[in-house]
Amino acid sequence: MPLIRSWVASANDPETAFPLNNLPYGVFSVGDDAPRCGVAIGDMILDMAAVEEAGLVDLGEPALFVMPFWNEVMELGPEAWADLRARLTALLAEGAAGEAELQPMLVPMAEADLHLPFVVAEYTDFYAGRHHATNVGTMFRGAENALPPNWLHIPIGYNGRASSVVVSGTDIRRPWGQLKGPNDDLPRFAPSARFDLELEMGAIVGRASDGPITVTEADDAIFGYVLLNDWSARDIQAWEYQPLGPFQAKATATTISPWIVTKAALEPFRVKAPAREFALLDHLKDAGPMLYDIALEVTLAPEGQAPSTIARTNYREMYYSAAQQLAHHSTAGCPMSVGDLLGSGTISGPEKDQRGSLLELSWGGKEPLTLETGETRSFLADGDTLALSGHAQGDGYRIGFGPCSGTLLPALDDPYAR
Ligand code: CA
């Protein structure tokens, strides 16, 4: 599919993240205005509350877009999602009759504050990138035991905390935690010295279920995707993770990008999962191509300095799709809700510069990374700004995700000071 031209000139730039082919959904405010729903188009945001009030979009329910979240639109289901997308495409296409009426409803993105685009119902994070799992397993347990025996049969996950999810641009405070290094006799309470990122994609559940669903049903239930950084304290993780998995190591924050890129926008970029070493059981079998060709990049900027690219990889490197993760999540009867967020797991490619965490890039701190500024990093330093970016490359256009960034603030002197 080629670029769909828009009367919003900046949306026709081949480099823009937000051509008319994309139409991602966010929540924005300007000044002291109340946050409300918007759609990104080029370097502008279409104020959906204004569009709704003018009667230009009608999904059969009142006041959907004055809300500071997209959950109510998701609740309407896939038919309404398709109707909305078709309507917006018609309104914003080059030559559309309503241009003069819509023009005042566009807000420059540069003037807007972006908020979390949906209410995160619950958050689950998976561990479904094979290169990442192999790298981390090798470091933690040795090459012989790198992949746990279940790994090639189920997408492993843990239940995270929706309350810890924040939007891009939110500062992250270095956490304190209980640490015990391999040479320490006893644990101690101290700021994490091995604070890290995890490059992931987040899938947003748009359709509730109550009981097991198939991979195809799961794919149909996904509303869209965001970039996701699962900030991770490796020293807290190493001490706490057995036997129940990560807990405080992942509790500080998880940053997501502010725009929900819909599954519809990503349709042209579907790709198959990699070859299976063991056939998956029937309820998890691939039901067509359910990964996407999305180029991903991580940059690290030390305080006051230019960013260096530290990793480049692709979402197609995943072993399990979000649809398989969602299907697996439902197998034992877990009800899934509109607004559930599923982290893909860290996305690493086979090459050294394709690794989606500093833990892997610096090989547990043994091989510090040299930035373009000449500084080295094994883990994040105070003041570092970490940014994820991603896009699918179409024919003359890009489906971009917008920024997913955060700056690491120093730990408090004493987190229990009152
Ligand atoms: Ca993770």
Q: Any idea what the CATH number is for the domain that residue 206 is in?
A: 3.90.850.10
Question: Are 201 and 156 part of one and the same domain?
Answer: yes
Give the domain-ending residue among 92, 115, 138.
Answer: 115
Q: How many domains does the chain have?
A: 2
Q: What is the 3-state secondary structure (H, E, C) of 346-358?
A: CCCCCCHHHCCCH
* Predicted pLDDT of residue 314: 98
Tokens of 375: 């500084």
On whether the CB atoms of residues 19 and 33 are closer than 8 A, the answer is no
Question: Are 177 and 248 part of one and the same domain?
Answer: yes
pLDDT band per the 50, 70, 90 thresholds, residue 222: very high
Question: Are 340 and 380 part of one and the same domain?
Answer: yes
Q: What is the pLDDT of residues 224-268, one digit of tens each?
A: 999 999 999 999 999 999 899 999 999 999 999 999 999 999 999
CA distances from 214 to 84, 92, 224 (A): 26, 36, 18
| Gap from CA of 194 to ligand 1 centroid (Å) | 15
* Predicted pLDDT of residue 45: 98
Give the domain-ending residue among 82, 115, 148.
Answer: 115
| Gap from CA of 125 to ligand 1 centroid (Å) | 6
| Mean pLDDT score, 268-290 | 95
Question: Are 66 and 155 part of one and the same domain?
Answer: no
| Mean pLDDT score, 395-399 | 97
| Mean pLDDT score, 396-415 | 97
| Gap from CA of 273 to ligand 1 centroid (Å) | 19
Question: What is the enclosing helix (H) or strand (E) of 405?
Answer: strand 404-409
For residue 250, give the 3-state DSSP assignment. Answer: helix
Give the domain-ending residue among 70, 87, 115.
Answer: 115
| Gap from CA of 209 to ligand 1 centroid (Å) | 24
| Gap from CA of 182 to ligand 1 centroid (Å) | 23
Question: Are 79 and 131 part of one and the same domain?
Answer: no
* Position 418 pLDDT exceeds 90: no
| Mean pLDDT score, 190-218 | 98
* Predicted pLDDT of residue 135: 95
Domain presence at residue 176: yes
Question: Are 336 and 369 part of one and the same domain?
Answer: yes
Q: Is the pTM of this model over 0.95?
A: yes
Chain-centroid distance of CA 104 in Å reads 31
pLDDT band per the 50, 70, 90 thresholds, residue 140: confident
* Predicted pLDDT of residue 146: 92
CA distances from 226 to 67, 204, 389, 400 (A): 20, 8, 10, 10
For residue 393, give the 3-state DSSP assignment. Answer: strand
Whether omega for the bond prior to residue 243 falls within 30 degrees of 0, making it cis, is yes
| Mean pLDDT score, 214-225 | 98
Buried b (16+ CB within 10 A) or exposed e, 260-290: bbbbbbbeebbbebeeeeeebeeebebbeeb
Give the number of other CB atoms < 10 A from CB of residue 76: 17
Question: Are 108 and 136 part of one and the same domain?
Answer: no
| Gap from CA of 132 to ligand 1 centroid (Å) | 10
Catalytic residue numbers?
132
| Gap from CA of 105 to ligand 1 centroid (Å) | 38
Range of the domain at 334: 123-409
| Gap from CA of 343 to ligand 1 centroid (Å) | 7
* Predicted pLDDT of residue 205: 98
